[in-house]
Chain A
Amino acid sequence: MSTKQEQLKAIFIEEAGEIIEKLDVDILRFEENPTDFALLNEVFRGVHTLKGNANAFGFSRLGGFVHHFEDVLDHYRSTKESIEVEILELIVNSVDLIKETMTCELDALPTLPAAYESNLEAIKALIAFKKGKPVEPTATTTAPAVLGDLASEFGLGCTDQYEQLLTQAATLMATTQEGDERIWRIDLTLDSDSYRRGVDCFVFIALLGEKAKGIESVFDCEKIPALETFVCDQNFMQHIGIVVLTAQSRVEIEENFEFLEAHEYRITPIDAAPKVETQAVAVAQAPVEATTAVASSAKSTIRIDTNKLDELFDSVGELVIAQNFIAQNEKIHAIADESIGRTIETLSKITKRIQDRVMSLRMVAIRDTFDKMKRVVRDTSKKTGKALHLNVLGEETEIDKTMIDSLSDPLIHIIRNAIDHGLEADSAARIAAGKSVEGTITLRAFHKSGSIVISVSDDGRGINKAKVLQKAIAKGIVTADENLTDSQIFALIMQPGFSTADAISDLSGRGVGLDVVKTSIEKLRGKIEIESVEGQGTTFSMVLPLTLAIIDGMLVQAAGEIYIIPTLSVVESLRPEREIVHAFQEKGEFISLRGQHLPIVRLGAYFGHEERRIEPWEGILVCVETEMGRIALMVDELVGRQQVVIKPLGKALARQREISGGAILGSGDIALILNIDALSPHAIEMSHA
């Protein structure tokens, strides 16, 4: 396959993936509101594009399936017939099958998904049945008879007819095209408030018409409601296609639309029809215009390989380090020249701006991930037979792109867990608890103290603390004499092999899930917090850093080495009074802080550095939150707080769990980033050995 074909195939794969992802979301939205035929139309358009692309690339098995599926959608969108529950299920399952078939095609697997044939047969049978039986349209969806007849006369759906009319217009214009005239297609998708903004498509048609040799337009009136619900100042004209034959350039055409939003219009050159004599001129011009078109569309969005983005980010990281080096270099500081100081300051500002902008390139809204979760909620709800309502909040919250992919699995598990175990077993139990029959799952994303929190809440039975503790003691995870806080008890359910579920379902309950979730979140430098009130519900919160590439850290010095403690874990730092420090034989040193006894970990000793042993009240204690409770890290000095670019460690250090990465400081020195949770279990004995 040539490189060009490979590139096209890569584009197809990417686009098909996007279409299928959107299908997945739209089909669920349609399932929630099966009378939203505009949405069904949207689904149809996606499927139609997918069919064409799949067949073009020889993915005939995918193309074949999608072809028949398209017939089903076309039937319902044209007749507006109400869709039975089992047909909705067939449609939803078909989207699943499209996803699976796509994977088979991409991997060139000889086999197809198990349900391929049966689903295809069901679709074919449905279409045969529908075609054999006249369909009664629902009373509320009466359409203009003549307009409908026109469409059916040509055997066309609305979209087909719309496209065909525009194509016919372009073909006709090509026969009269001469000189430097070009044929352009303009698609107007004006917002519903356009009339209130004083914008009407007729104005643009008239403006274009003034300087055109020929102009033809097609109005898609599909979304116009019946008079009862019609609002005069609202624009219901969703799509207007205009074909114009003119000698005007793209820029001149574009000037007509300067008061529109960028998403409200699209200008595309149309190549001349092949049989026209003047074709040579048009074709010769096409590449030039195509280049212009690309340049113009680049104003809005462009696709970038994420690897290139990562490389760019790495380079900016190096720039930040170099800039810090200059800013903190004592020799440069010693130069008594004001202009050098000002230049360094300017460089610092510019570097920060570049860093922020490059960072923002990696940030994407969490909406798509949440949309996928809607499907998980739906399927789990059906599987468990529990009626529930999903609340989604904060979909616009942005998160590092590299984190998004790793978040899906933990989220799926927590959601399934919330439905399967969190919510009461049945509606009778909910009614008995004074709750509504329908359970509520709330999915929320928000910013909190420089971190991103993604939480899953249920209004179910809550976690039975006593049961968790009893099980943990029985399994030897904790001992009966340990005095654990609520959050420490809740954290026990994320221990490997821990499950309080009496029965194992195929959704959860094997005790292999939450510990994997925890590990996945920790890999993202995040942590999980659990809050629960028995009888009222549970909230799992995943607290994540804004990005994986930069960490907000507290720089501390211990035994001459600089360490970085993630700010996310830091609770407070203090120089303790002598009276609150206690030492117990074989148990090490502790500090009594507001009724809590925190073990003191001497950081320098922990990492085996020789140090002059000082007393805790002579040093600084940094209290950090670990999964097993708070500990106090003893350091010599607080150096400061700053954002550092995380650098991976070499293979030798990568095995050391207490260190999660390294960073190059402005001085050129290397500092190690601490993995606080890995530090805690043996910290005490090590530091006091």
Chain B
Amino acid sequence: MQFDGDALTIDLSMSMQEIAEFAAFVRPRLEFIERIEALEGSTLKRSALLAVLVSIKRAKPQIVIPFLEAGKMHNKHYGTMHFICAA
């Protein structure tokens, strides 16, 4: 995880423990974070991380999470994955 100014870059293949640490890290700093990027080449491996990112977006709608906002991602192991939630 890299914090550069107001942008956070994360490895999508975090373990459960790292996901919990990530959520704990973001909580008190949410107002300073404007963007969360995925580390290039990293692969989402746990739905818990997806849930954390959606929950961050719910708490701060203006935050930019390109990977999430694309609404879908493709991976050779998991195929195409769509993420949807109600307005």
Residues of A near any B CB (own CB < 8 A):
41, 77-80, 142-152, 157-158, 161-162, 165, 169, 195, 200-202, 205-206, 209-210, 212, 214-222, 224-228, 230, 232-233, 235-237, 240
**Are A237 and B87 closer than 8 Å at their CB atoms?**
no
Interface size class of B (residues with CB under 8 A): 35 or more
Proximity string of chain B (67-87) to chain A, C-beta cutoff 8 Å, 1 when within and 0 when not: 011010000011111111111
Smallest Cβ distance from A210 to chain B, in angstroms?
8
Q: Does B39 belong to the interface (CB within 8 Å)?
A: no
Proximity string of chain B (49-79) to chain A, C-beta cutoff 8 Å, 1 when within and 0 when not: 0111011111111100000110100000111
Chain B residues lying within 8 Å of A214, measured Cβ to Cβ, are: 79
Chain A residues lying within 8 Å of B78, measured Cβ to Cβ, are: 202, 205-206, 209, 215, 217
Which chain B residue shows the least CB distance to A217?
B81
- A147-B71, A157-B86, A228-B59 as given contacts; A206 in contact with B77, CB under 8 Å: yes
**Are A147 and B51 closer than 8 Å at their CB atoms?**
no
Known: A147-B84, A222-B85. 11 other contacts (CB 8 A): A78-B86, A80-B86, A144-B68, A158-B84, A201-B47, A209-B79, A219-B84, A224-B58, A227-B27, A227-B56, A227-B58
Chain A residues lying within 8 Å of B27, measured Cβ to Cβ, are: 227
Q: Does B1 belong to the interface (CB within 8 Å)?
A: no
Proximity string of chain B (9-20) to chain A, C-beta cutoff 8 Å, 1 when within and 0 when not: 000000010011
Interface core residue of A149, A215, A226 (most chain B CB under 10 Å): A226
What is the bound-complex CA distance between A228 and B50, given in angstroms?
16
Q: Does B23 belong to the interface (CB within 8 Å)?
A: yes
**Are B56 and A219 closer than 8 Å at their CB atoms?**
no
Interface core residue of B26, B51, B84 (most chain A CB under 10 Å): B84
- Across the A-B interface, how many residue pairs have beta carbons closer than 8 Å? 150
Smallest Cβ distance from A536 to chain B, in angstroms?
48
Smallest Cβ distance from B53 to chain A, in angstroms?
9
**Are A202 and B45 closer than 8 Å at their CB atoms?**
yes
**Are A222 and B79 closer than 8 Å at their CB atoms?**
no
Proximity string of chain B (29-57) to chain A, C-beta cutoff 8 Å, 1 when within and 0 when not: 01000000000000011111011101111
What is the bound-complex CA distance between A230 and B23, given in angstroms?
9
Chain A residues lying within 8 Å of B20, measured Cβ to Cβ, are: 232-233
User: What are 24 A-B pairs with beta-carbon distances under 8 A?
Assistant: A77-B86, A142-B58, A142-B61, A143-B61, A144-B58, A145-B62, A148-B85, A162-B84, A200-B46, A205-B81, A209-B79, A210-B77, A215-B80, A217-B81, A218-B82, A219-B81, A221-B85, A224-B55, A224-B58, A227-B58, A228-B59, A230-B23, A232-B16, A237-B47
Which chain A residue shows the least CB distance to B45?
A202
**Are A209 and B84 closer than 8 Å at their CB atoms?**
no
What is the bound-complex CA distance between A566 and B42, given in angstroms?
73
- A217-B79, A219-B82 as given contacts; A237 in contact with B50, CB under 8 Å: yes
Interface core residue of A216, A225, A227 (most chain B CB under 10 Å): A227
Chain B residues lying within 8 Å of A41, measured Cβ to Cβ, are: 86
What is the bound-complex CA distance between A148 and B77, given in angstroms?
28
Residues of B near any A CB (own CB < 8 A):
16, 19-20, 23, 26-27, 30, 44-48, 50-52, 54-62, 68-69, 71, 77-87
**Are B52 and A150 closer than 8 Å at their CB atoms?**
no
Chain A residues lying within 8 Å of B45, measured Cβ to Cβ, are: 202
What is the bound-complex CA distance between A214 and B78, given in angstroms?
9
Chain B residues lying within 8 Å of A220, measured Cβ to Cβ, are: 84-85
What is the bound-complex CA distance between A41 and B82, given in angstroms?
20
Partner of B69, one of A142, A146, A227, A240: A146
Which chain A residue shows the least CB distance to B58?
A226
Nearest 5 A-B pairs (CB), nearest first? A148-B87, A215-B79, A227-B59, A221-B85, A144-B57
Partner of A209, one of B54, B77, B87: B77
Which chain B residue shows the least CB distance to A144?
B57
**Are A216 and B46 closer than 8 Å at their CB atoms?**
no
Smallest Cβ distance from A195 to chain B, in angstroms?
6
**Are B80 and A226 closer than 8 Å at their CB atoms?**
no
Chain B residues lying within 8 Å of A157, measured Cβ to Cβ, are: 86
Which chain A residue shows the least CB distance to B56?
A227
What is the bound-complex CA distance between A221 and B55, given in angstroms?
9
**Are A232 and B23 closer than 8 Å at their CB atoms?**
yes
**Are A233 and B16 closer than 8 Å at their CB atoms?**
yes
Chain B residues lying within 8 Å of A201, measured Cβ to Cβ, are: 47
Partner of B82, one of A80, A217, A235: A217
**Are B85 and A224 closer than 8 Å at their CB atoms?**
yes
Smallest Cβ distance from B20 to chain A, in angstroms?
4
Which chain A residue shows the least CB distance to B76?
A209
**Are A202 and B46 closer than 8 Å at their CB atoms?**
yes
Interface core residue of B19, B30, B54, B62 (most chain A CB under 10 Å): B54
Partner of A195, one of B48, B57, B61: B48
What is the bound-complex CA distance between A217 and B68, given in angstroms?
15
**Are B86 and A226 closer than 8 Å at their CB atoms?**
no
Which chain B residue shows the least CB distance to A172?
B80
What is the bound-complex CA distance between A637 and B45, given in angstroms?
77
What is the bound-complex CA distance between A227 and B29, given in angstroms?
12
**Are A232 and B82 closer than 8 Å at their CB atoms?**
no
Chain A residues lying within 8 Å of B46, measured Cβ to Cβ, are: 200, 202
Which chain B residue shows the least CB distance to A207?
B77
What is the bound-complex CA distance between A236 and B45, given in angstroms?
16
- A144-B68, A217-B79, A233-B16 as given contacts; A226 in contact with B84, CB under 8 Å: no
Chain A residues lying within 8 Å of B83, measured Cβ to Cβ, are: 147, 219, 221
Chain A residues lying within 8 Å of B61, measured Cβ to Cβ, are: 142-145
Interface core residue of A202, A206, A236 (most chain B CB under 10 Å): A202
**Are A165 and B84 closer than 8 Å at their CB atoms?**
yes
